[in-house]
A and B are shown apart, each in its own frame.
Chain A
């Protein structure tokens, strides 16, 4: 039996899987999240049209209502926007961009936050005080404000190529506010772990501090980080949507969910509700299902709640 198979068996026999099977809410959100992720990941295969391919846009088909309303066509299940883009396809591609921004920015902020938290907790003293004060300062700014600032700087630095860099700028902007949570959580857990016997034992036999942090402390503080990361994915997606809604996120030519909502917002008063409502619904579905999964994971990993 290989290690991977062993891991799977252990997981299936374990508490976490059991608690998952017992929670209908967790199953439902996992299904919703998986469907969204699948549609987003395989948008190129699943989506009926490619909204990024401008040559296939049919302006004459602009502003069609969803298929079940009079005037709608089966070809465009959820209707079309002002440029004749199929809403359903735009949603799939948009979800992909939103998820990519969300996951990437969580990975970046997790890497930064966990490293700094480990160092702060393990070394302590002035290093700790310094890192934690930086965290306090970061926490005193609203996330959106910092993100807007980063975006503004990005725009000023790369005036011509901004749209091409929008993706990277968004990730930096969101990560810059997200890492603080990880740093604080990891520092707390590290403070507990660093005085435990296994750490002292490692120290006694002469293992370097860097190696102790990586090989011994890190695996033991990762539990809360996983929970945090799941929840942060949802909030990163929402920050991305907010920035795009404000017009500083993804450009119209490669729209994310937030951009789609912003574009559709112009038509809210004139009865073409489908352009904005569907992206809103998808945004809520993605954020809610990921959040609920995170909640369930937190409970499942918390020994006191078992």
Chain B
């Protein structure tokens, strides 16, 4: 009798204990590079820090805009937006969130060392009106300004000053500061433990102002670079949730009774970029001139890439070959424009010969191996394709930890990058990837410095245009010019694949963001 009641108590305790703390163990192929939300404009970095820090304008589960730390926003003049801030919000260290923090954070994100300047490139001034009202003035009318704030996270002015972290961690120069290892946001989770490249632990922020849909109390995030190891970790129950699923293992995981795979289209476009600025490439055997300045060479590269076979073999069907730098689902995408130049090795060889490179040349290529789906395999396949037109590619594949600082310093001749327009609008791709780089943040990810003054002009006009039809026509014209110039070599849109235990419910967003507050473990 006594034993039975004792057992009952034990069951009760363990059940209660289970109900109290839900731990979610997440694996990804790479790590968030830093806890500093302004240090790298990369999806994983931004989605991870979005659990701790929050923007003024947030995204809902359908990627629409929703109130974040600002409750209301209105355009008072064509160049001025006014934001009413949420009252009663505290940072995790207890200091209240006010307009001073907003002014500080936006200036921090627009300032030196920041990787977020492409969002703030047209900001003229950020003004505090009163403790809970802020105005942003732009140099030109900016109707979609709220969309471009969804990735600018708010930090505490006082905390940054106390911790000597008033400027962002600069990945290019390898400068770290306290904000890289510690965090103090307003978000639903707080940082408990940070071991770069091995383990990061988040716990629920008990004083969070908002409602949390999910029930996860603790998140243990582990980067596992090796695809097979990541799959094994999920199969053995060592982790509850992992992404991306290696394409070759999708069927295997689907077949497991305890697991499921969620697949969906992703807004990310994978493309290749070429250095078109330097007079001599950094990594090539051609001296004294830059072959990529010749459009015929760029077109030869384009037509030498067998994108359909890359789709069927390397991507196992999970990709959508593209001719544009934005994919379906992005405002400004037009399907009739999405027509690739045909894959034609003979035509490519002819173009190379016309350009004076009949016997080809050597070029160094940089590629990440833990950032995009099968990124290193794509680069190898491209290298093999280019070998057919006599181009010897010296491929260097490496982890994104060393890859991003290198290509952001523009230490590259030929590189692979993926891009999701975080405003879900083509203007973001134009201004970040295609417009001529300037010191205000325009063209910050145009790493090969493609430049066409007409496209620059259109990009500025598109930003201020409110008439949707006119705007779309200008976007179309800009993309046509870019395609005509072969400014980049677009490859495909990749597909999302997340795998998890069957008892996990979550929202899969097409921008590959995974907010833990929307995860429920049943």
Residue numbers of A with Cβ under 8 A of B are 53-55, 57, 59-60, 62-63, 82-84, 160, 162-163, 251-253, 265-272
Is residue B394 within 8 Å, beta carbon to beta carbon, of the partner chain?
yes
Known: A59-B309, A62-B313. A252 touches B246 (CB 8 A): no
Contact of A265 among B226, B377, B386 (CB under 8 A): B226
Q: Which residues on B sit within 8 Å (CB–CB) of A57?
A: 384, 387
The 7 closest A-B pairs by CB, nearest first: A54-B387, A270-B248, A55-B387, A54-B384, A62-B313, A57-B384, A266-B227
Known: A54-B384, A83-B381, A160-B283. A270 touches B309 (CB 8 A): no
Q: Which residues on B sit within 8 Å (CB–CB) of A60?
A: 309, 312-313
Chain A minimum-CB-distance residue to B381: A59
User: Is the CB–CB distance between B377 and A83 below 8 Å?
Assistant: yes
User: Is the CB–CB distance between A53 and B387 below 8 Å?
Assistant: yes
Known: A265-B228, A266-B228. A83 touches B249 (CB 8 A): no
Is residue B263 within 8 Å, beta carbon to beta carbon, of the partner chain?
no
User: Is the CB–CB distance between A82 and B249 below 8 Å?
Assistant: no
User: Is the CB–CB distance between B313 and A59 below 8 Å?
Assistant: yes
- B404 vs chain A, min Cβ distance (A): 15
Q: Which residues on B sit within 8 Å (CB–CB) of A163?
A: 394, 396
Chain A minimum-CB-distance residue to B310: A59
Q: Which residues on A sit within 8 Å (CB–CB) of B283?
A: 160
Tally inter-chain residue pairs, CB-CB below 8 A.
75
Chain A minimum-CB-distance residue to B385: A59
Interface of B is mostly: helix
Is residue B383 within 8 Å, beta carbon to beta carbon, of the partner chain?
yes
Residue in A53, A54, A163, A252 whose Cβ sees the most chain B Cβ within 10 Å: A54
User: Is the CB–CB distance between A271 and B383 below 8 Å?
Assistant: no
Q: Which residues on B sit within 8 Å (CB–CB) of A265?
A: 226, 228
User: In the docked arrangement, what's the CA distance between A106 and B424, Å?
Assistant: 58
User: In the docked arrangement, what's the CA distance between A205 and B123, Å?
Assistant: 91
Known: A84-B313, A252-B380. A59 touches B306 (CB 8 A): yes
Q: Which residues on B sit within 8 Å (CB–CB) of A84?
A: 313, 384
User: Is the CB–CB distance between B228 and A267 below 8 Å?
Assistant: yes
Is residue B252 within 8 Å, beta carbon to beta carbon, of the partner chain?
yes
Q: Which residues on A sit within 8 Å (CB–CB) of B313?
A: 59-60, 62-63, 82, 84
Q: Which residues on A sit within 8 Å (CB–CB) of B386?
A: 54
Residue in B228, B252, B385 whose Cβ sees the most chain A Cβ within 10 Å: B228
Interface string of B69-85 (1 = CB under 8 A from A): 00000000000000000
Contact of B395 among A162, A253, A266 (CB under 8 A): A253
Q: Which residues on B sit within 8 Å (CB–CB) of A83?
A: 377, 380-381, 384
Q: Which residues on B sit within 8 Å (CB–CB) of A63?
A: 313
User: In the docked arrangement, what's the CA distance between A160 and B364, Å?
Assistant: 9
User: In the docked arrangement, what's the CA distance between A63 and B315, Å?
Assistant: 12
- A279 vs chain B, min Cβ distance (A): 15
Known: A83-B380, A252-B376, A265-B228. A59 touches B314 (CB 8 A): yes
Chain B minimum-CB-distance residue to A55: B387
- A54 vs chain B, min Cβ distance (A): 4
Q: Which residues on A sit within 8 Å (CB–CB) of B395?
A: 251-253
Is residue B284 within 8 Å, beta carbon to beta carbon, of the partner chain?
no
Q: Which residues on A sit within 8 Å (CB–CB) of B226?
A: 265-266
8 Å CB interface, B364-398 against A? 364, 376-377, 380-381, 383-388, 393-397
Q: Which residues on A sit within 8 Å (CB–CB) of B385?
A: 59
